[in-house]
Amino acid sequence: MLLGFSACGRNEPAGPATVAQASPTPQPPPSPELRAAISALLVQPEAGIGASSADVQALKTIYPEATQSPLWLGADLRPTKTAQEALALLNDAAAEGLDPEFYRAAPLTAQATTMTSGISATVAAAFDVSLTHSMMRYLRQFHRGRVDPRSIGFQVALPEDEHDYASIVREAATKGTLKEAIQSVMPPLVQYRALRAMLPKYRALALVDGTTLPRLPKSATKALKPGGTSTVLEILRTRLIAMGDLQETTPPPTNPLLYEGEIVEGVKRFQARHNFEPDGVIGKATWAALHVPLTHRLRQIELAMERMRWLPHLGERAFVAVNIPMFRLWAWDKVPESGVPDFDMGVIVGKALDTRTPVFLEEMTHLIFQPYWNVPKSIVHSEMLPILRRNLGYLESQDMEIVDGQGDDAKPVPATLANVERLASAELRLRQRPGPKNALGQVKFMFPNDENVYLHSTPAPVLFGRARRDFSHGCVRVEDPVKLAEWALSDQPEWTREKILAAMNGDPSVMVKLTRPIRVVLYYVTATVIPTDNTVHFAEDIYNQDPRLDEALRARVAPAPALPGPNATGVDVDKVGARVVPNPAPPDRQSRGAQILERHIGQANVDGFPSQVKAVSGHAVAVAIESVVGLGRTVSRDDLERAVRAGAPGDVVEKIEERGIDRMLVTRSEIAHQMIDGVQSLGFIGAGPEVLDR
């Protein structure tokens, strides 16, 4: 949906405040031992930081052999202010729909607290090079995404990336310009920024979904119509308020069992946001949507943000965007700061079962009024040949003809069985003449592509009355072709509305070249923000694409092993048999748990749920720590690896999910971070089950 280019800067993350940037002071040359340690890491980085061959080459340009000075450590080997800002950024990766664990945010942050002048050169080098590597990966994936769309079936090549991430990281670290570096790689689309703004709200809602935010029963016995009665209206009202479909001030109904008034209007708004007919009737589909876990809605937003990274900077040019699962088209001459389009309309897309509309970017170059429909070979073989072999009269009844040759001037041949067989062998072609029966309607909008897909009108506009509209053979039918044609030809003043209508109803076919080519973006996201009212809309995943992307993201190569050396609690994770004994927390870390939660749910008051969010999350993490590690018992690095970083983390996830918290929200890296910090440093965490009753 509503893509657009963002002229604004990046919103500041909700994480811990960073110190104002200061001009870095020149550092003395590193010790020979530190230079040697950095050099050793670059010779065999897979042993220490797990860098790819491409990243190794980039790291070597960042740490040239002549100097090999650390980027993030001062002369006393303590992390610089810019290093602290970089760590805050990595820890806040979830605010961008990314995974802090993939950038080793927790172990790097823990390691930073131990960095002193007495640290070994090996540990200092590992920290510095690892932070550089993590920052390169973060900036690249923040800008371009983590998955190549072609690897999951989308025929979209990632746009050319001209960023030199090695140079960006080196300059940011040495000049203290991290904020400027982030600005330079910020995904440019307005829609990305809008989705990002929705993350804190849905992260907070997902944390309390099923606990302080009660869920509806899984299914209803019958449709609930306005004027009907139900025993779950109070739960429904609470959920509608939480999701923004009812005002927080909406009072309970006078009759708690009667479905009427404001609660019906709230359901209509919910239906509109989920691509249903807003009739207020809670049927099977609406009931199912109301019961979708909010962790799933959160993941839809994150997956949409990932797909936004695949799209190029659309610049100042006119463009059309079609969001396939939302059955909607938007158009801009030039994207305003708000992202509001010049107009939008409904579309019909390819059938989910067998003729899906592809995802791609192309240039609209011309229009054809009163077009022929040249029937694709796939449709000829799958649908037309069986009919024609039974009934040659079908051709005339549908204004169709078999022709010899290419182009509109191809000559028709007699409708005989012999010519049908020549059609089957691709010697001849099948087409439908312009007119009221033509499948393309009265105009088609051409953007040459390998898929032979285009926008066009339709002789069956009644289908636009349906909420779900995947009916085509792959092309995109538009609801208001006259409006789209007027807009496409707006800089060709001779093409007035009257002339367009005459061409659409005239004879013969007319091709009109556009003097300004228009970018056409066919894309696929199941969550999008409507800029006119700033509401998030969710669509059914009609082509089942979200699980494919989700699986690809979860199957990525895991980050390198934990850094060597002791962590913040004095537990050396490299030594088997280490004992978990939390140190007294410094005053500035007493509220570590609160800081983590606030970083992930945004502002202190998110839809009235802050205390519940903190209570539920705090209790779940406390239970996870006690059940898997246990204060005072002997554990090994393997215990931490198995409990926190494994693909099936066992009791941790079970304990969390028992309290309605999905692993996507309280991530394994976050649990690891809190384990490492120690229960006593988490402030409100560790109080026991009574914390739920706050």
CA dist., res. 187 & res. 619, Å (int): 36
- Kindly state the DSSP code that residue 471 receives in the 8-state scheme: E
The band of 647, judged by pLDDT with boundaries at 50, 70 and 90, is: very low
Residue 34: both structure tokens together:
């530190």
- Kindly state the DSSP code that residue 80 receives in the 8-state scheme: P
What is the 3-state secondary structure of 312-360?
A: CCCCCCCEEEEEHHHCEEEEECCCCCCCCCCEEEEEEEECCCCCCCCCE
Mean pLDDT of 98-119: 89
The three-state secondary structure class of 213 is strand
Of the ranges 179-183, 221-225, 669-673, which one carries the lowest mean pLDDT score?
669-673
CA dist., res. 196 & res. 616, Å (int): 24
- As to burial, measured by CB atoms within 10 angstroms (0-12 exposed, 13-18 middle, 19+ buried), residue 310 is buried
pLDDT at 554: 86
Residue 220: both structure tokens together:
């209803």
The band of 400, judged by pLDDT with boundaries at 50, 70 and 90, is: very high
CA dist., res. 133 & res. 55, Å (int): 7
Task: List helix spans (H) across 337-480.
Answer: 377-379, 385-390, 394-397, 417-424
Mean pLDDT of 467-478: 93
The answer for residues whose C-beta is within 8 angstroms of residue 398's C-beta and 6 or more apart is 432, 437
Of the ranges 43-47, 119-123, 217-221, 478-482, which one carries the lowest mean pLDDT score?
43-47
pLDDT at 672: 39
The band of 116, judged by pLDDT with boundaries at 50, 70 and 90, is: confident
Mean pLDDT of the chain: 78
pLDDT at 679: 28
Query: Which residue bears the tokens 């040019």?
Result: 317
pLDDT at 251: 87
The band of 66, judged by pLDDT with boundaries at 50, 70 and 90, is: low
pLDDT at 153: 79
How far apart, in Å, do the first and last CA atoms of the chain sit? 41
pLDDT tens-digit series, residues 484-521: 999 999 999 999 999 999 999 988 899 999 999 999 99
pLDDT at 75: 87
CA dist., res. 199 & res. 590, Å (int): 26
CA 435, 437, 442, 447 torsion-angle sign: negative
The band of 463, judged by pLDDT with boundaries at 50, 70 and 90, is: very high
- Kindly state the DSSP code that residue 679 receives in the 8-state scheme: G
CA dist., res. 293 & res. 259, Å (int): 23
pLDDT at 20: 35
Indicate if the pLDDT at residue 37 is higher than 60.
yes
The band of 556, judged by pLDDT with boundaries at 50, 70 and 90, is: confident
The three-state secondary structure class of 409 is coil
The structure's pTM equals 0.76
The band of 274, judged by pLDDT with boundaries at 50, 70 and 90, is: very high
Residue 510: both structure tokens together:
């007319």
Task: Give percent of the chain with pLDDT exceeding 70.
Answer: 74
The three-state secondary structure class of 566 is strand
Torsion angle defined by CA atoms of residues 23, 29, 32 and 38, in that order, rounded to the nearest 10 degrees:
30
CB-based contact 504:443 (threshold 8 Å): yes
Residue 452: both structure tokens together:
């032979």
CB-based contact 607:247 (threshold 8 Å): no
385 against 23, higher pLDDT:
385
pLDDT tens-digit series, residues 658-687: 333 333 333 333 443 344 333 223 332 222
pLDDT at 630: 38
Query: Which residue bears the tokens 């926008």?
Result: 455
Least Cα distance to 671 among 649, 644, 694, 641 occurs for 644
Task: Give percent of the chain with pLDDT exceeding 90.
Answer: 55
- The neighbouring-strand residues paired with 527 are 538
Taking the CB of residue 271, how many other CB atoms lie within 10 A of it?
A: 23
The band of 592, judged by pLDDT with boundaries at 50, 70 and 90, is: very low
CB-based contact 579:635 (threshold 8 Å): yes
Mean pLDDT of 276-294: 94
The three-state secondary structure class of 456 is strand
pLDDT at 337: 74
**Is domain 216-290 given the CATH code 3.40.50.720 in the classification?**
no
pLDDT at 312: 79
354 against 168, higher pLDDT:
168
pLDDT tens-digit series, residues 143-179: 999 998 888 877 776 777 888 999 999 999 999 999 9
DSSP 463-515: GGGSS--EEESSSEEES-HHHHHHHHTTT-TT--HHHHHHHHTSSS-EEEEEE
CA 531, 535, 541, 546 torsion-angle sign: positive
The band of 54, judged by pLDDT with boundaries at 50, 70 and 90, is: confident
143 against 604, higher pLDDT:
143
Least Cα distance to 364 among 274, 484, 245 occurs for 484
User: What residues does each domain of the chain span?
Assistant: 216-290, 320-546, 566-694
463 against 610, higher pLDDT:
463
CB-based contact 327:348 (threshold 8 Å): yes
CA dist., res. 341 & res. 579, Å (int): 59
Indicate if the pLDDT at residue 620 is higher than 60.
no
CA dist., res. 538 & res. 297, Å (int): 8
Mean pLDDT of 277-288: 94
